[in-house]
Structure 1
């Protein structure tokens, strides 16, 4: 039997960091397989996680619920057959909807799989902003989580933290909410909160009656004007239903709202050069609305720099080599030519 944990979280919330912490401190004795669902042209996070000795299956471009539902089912079945893991961790795209990922797992009828936990990692510094601006995606992750883990709580004051919890409880009153800074928590403590079966059962109950058209649970009044595929369907009710979508505005997919660009490059960058680029990228609106950037780039001294960027902040660290330099940027209305010019790539 393979346990399945879904670790969701909006762009840059810290999903990969959390997974590495759990592997190192709590799951090192288990055989773990990670299935990543990257939104973007170039997968980056998989390179970070290979350091932890995890078997990784990467899927790029698109969300699990839409274009990759077939590939996802096949990947999950292949993982069970080939690896016989104790645990499968699914890391959805940061702009994916947790309800859709849960449904995609439910649709894989395999008696060797056991749904274990649905986690949403929420950046405490950006909870209010993202809830207001990207509610269809961000709030859905909160609503369907059995456990919610706030990241970067050490960087916010008590008032901000209480405001975050109030927002979270607007959408989910059943989930465990972890607010302690991660450095103060052991992997065992986090895992005990994740495996809260009562909360998980509440989430699963929401998926008992599945709409045959859009794959979500709805009340008895729900109906469709016509049979439809994911791209065009809409609903005649106007309230926000249990799948977390404001249906009067349609059911949006990540690639309808967000854009991404990926570049490979052999250019080299000193750490000072890279930090200057990232400072410009994180503090200026001239490149579009950037929500996340990450990459692996070589220095003139043949060392490699790994970087992560979210609005207003960035991190650069030395890491292992990759086959070439890679850059991935995700956001809305990206001005790719200007971003490419900033990095000096085509």
Structure 2
């Protein structure tokens, strides 16, 4: 029996960190295939999970919610045939809608040896309110269709704020199990037990939402699938790694201007900028760049920045940024430096200057 787990979450929520914990503490000994869907031009996360012994299929060419009928369905079947895995973990784009992913997985014709095990959303407790306000079409969908919602970064959150976050989530999903305890205090086994909640709620939501069979969007979606019009492709990407909260700013509110989006493709709202670079960076140089991205709107509204670059001292610098916080750490050498920034109204020219892209 092959079990399929969908682990969704908005940009920078901590999906990859959760997956690593589950692989280490629960799924050891299983043959696991991770299918990642990226939003952007440069695949960043493929290298982060190599040491876990996981086969990764990155689909940089298209958004999971638009490509599922073709590429994604084929990818799933190829995985089954090539690897005969015990488990498939699907990590959708951070700007993908969970309803689209669930619908598309259900549409793939599997035999009786495949079981949909769980639909999970990882949500940053410090940013739920802000993301609901500014990117509700995408963030709220991930909350609404999850059977388990795992809050990240709850270690130092104030009790009243945590309770407010749970209340906000309950307004969108009354039935899901919500994990609020800091991940360091509970085991992967405890998390998996919560993830095994019955999926009937999702089935009911999918039925009630009258989703278009062509692309997984609601029937009132603006794209016209049945009238000979060319479907607009979208390019989605995102992944996350370690976050140790080294640098904090007030991330509760942001200057985003997408408060009222209805049935959009991700590429109608979000933009990605990705580059490869051989430039050797001073650590202070990278930190100053992240500080500029985090504290100003000069480069656009930055929702996620990630990369690995060669350091001037011979060490490699890995970095992650989400609104209000960023982290630098040392990492293993890569074949070349890679950068990716995701947000809205990005100034590519200024980003190229900031990161010395000639």
Would you call these one fold, judging by a TM-score over 0.5?
yes
* Greater relative CO, 1 or 2 (CA 8 Å, sep 6+): 2
Post-superposition shift, 1:42?
0.5
Aligned residue in 1 for 2:314: 302
Residue 276 (structure 2) pairs with residue 264 (structure 1):
yes
Q: Matches of 2:62 and 2:222 in 1, distance apart? A: 25
Aligned residue in 1 for 2:148: 147
Aligned residue in 2 for 1:80: 80
- Secondary structure of the structure 1 residue equivalent to 2:37: strand
Q: TM-score, normalised by structure 2?
A: 0.86
Post-superposition shift, 1:207?
2.9
- Secondary structure of the structure 1 residue equivalent to 2:121: strand
Residue 108 (structure 2) pairs with residue 108 (structure 1):
yes
CA deviation profile, 1:291-331 (whole Å, cap 9, x unmatched)? 00000111123321111001121111111121100000000
The structure-2 alpha-carbon separation of the partners of 1:224 and 1:306, relative to structure 1 and needing over 3 Å to count, comes to closer
Aligned residue in 2 for 1:279: 291
- Secondary structure of the structure 2 residue equivalent to 1:39: coil
CA deviation profile, 1:134-190 (whole Å, cap 9, x unmatched)? 010000000000100000011310111111111111111111000001111111111
RMSD: 2.2
Q: Matches of 2:60 and 2:292 in 1, distance apart? A: 27
Aligned residue in 1 for 2:28: 28
> Is contact 2:149–2:179 with CA below 8 Å preserved after alignment?
yes
Q: Matches of 1:114 and 1:328 in 2, distance apart? A: 34
> Is contact 2:318–2:330 with CA below 8 Å preserved after alignment?
yes
Residue 216 (structure 2) pairs with residue 204 (structure 1):
no
**Correspondence list, 1:167-206, <5 A:** 167-197=168-198, 200-206=199-205
> Is contact 1:34–1:91 with CA below 8 Å preserved after alignment?
yes
Aligned residue in 1 for 2:267: 255
Aligned residue in 2 for 1:238: none
Aligned residue in 1 for 2:344: 332
Post-superposition shift, 1:275?
1.2
Q: Matches of 1:102 and 1:225 in 2, distance apart? A: 20
Aligned residue in 2 for 1:132: 133
The structure-2 alpha-carbon separation of the partners of 1:179 and 1:265, relative to structure 1 and needing over 3 Å to count, comes to same
Post-superposition shift, 1:210?
5.2
Post-superposition shift, 1:288?
0.3
Post-superposition shift, 1:231?
5.3
Q: Matches of 2:78 and 2:2 in 1, distance apart? A: 13
> Is contact 1:128–1:164 with CA below 8 Å preserved after alignment?
yes
Q: Matches of 1:109 and 1:16 in 2, distance apart? A: 28
CA deviation profile, 1:200-241 (whole Å, cap 9, x unmatched)? 1221233347544554678xxx89997456958xxxxxxxxx
Post-superposition shift, 1:273?
1.9
The structure-2 alpha-carbon separation of the partners of 1:322 and 1:249, relative to structure 1 and needing over 3 Å to count, comes to closer
- Secondary structure of the structure 2 residue equivalent to 1:160: helix
Q: Matches of 1:224 and 1:132 in 2, distance apart? A: 22
Unaligned stretches of 5+ residues in structure 2: 233-259
CA deviation profile, 1:16-64 (whole Å, cap 9, x unmatched)? 1111111111111211100000001011112111121111111114321
Aligned residues: 326
